Amino acid sequence: MTVKAGTVDQDLIPSNSKHEYEVGQQDLPLSCPMPGMYLWNSHPKVFLPIQETGEAKCPYCGARYTLRVSSD
C-alpha cells in the first residue's frame, strides 16, 4: 500500500469500510488506519503487533488484519 496524503481527488481506501485486510511485509509496521486510507473520518492511529502471530485486530474499529505469507 502506498503512502498518500488524503486529499479528496485521490483514490484512497475508505477507512473502516472493510473488516478484514490482508497485508504483506511491505506494510510493516502495521497501523490502523493504514497509510493509504482516508484519515479524516477514522479513529486515532494505533500500531498493531501482527508480526508475533500473523494476525491482529484493531481495538478501535475491530478490523482484522492477516499477514500474507510470502513464498521465497
pLDDT in single tens digits along all 72 residues of the chain: 555 444 555 666 665 556 889 999 999 999 998 887 777 677 899 999 999 899 999 999 889 999 998 754
- Whether residue 44 lies inside any domain: the answer is no
On whether the CB atoms of residues 32 and 39 are closer than 8 A, the answer is: no
Mean residue pLDDT across the chain: 80
Q: What is the pLDDT of residue 13?
A: 62
In b/e form, how buried is each residue of 6-22, taking b as 16+ CB within 10 angstroms? eeeeeebbebbeeeebe
**What 8-state DSSP symbol labels residue 37?**
B
Q: Does residue 11 lie within any of the structural domains?
A: no
Q: Provide the residue range defining the domain that includes 62.
A: 18-30+49-72
Residue 26 is placed in which grid cell? 511491505
Q: What is the pLDDT of residue 26?
A: 93
User: Quick check: is 61 in a domain?
Assistant: yes
Say what the pTM is.
Answer: 0.69
Q: Is residue 56 part of a domain?
A: yes
Q: Say if 58 falls within a structural domain.
A: yes
State the total domains in the chain.
Answer: 1
* Residue indicated by cell numbers 498518500: 4
Q: Rounded to 10 degrees, what is the CA torsion of 70, 6, 45, 17?
A: -70
For residue 42, the model assigns a pLDDT of 79
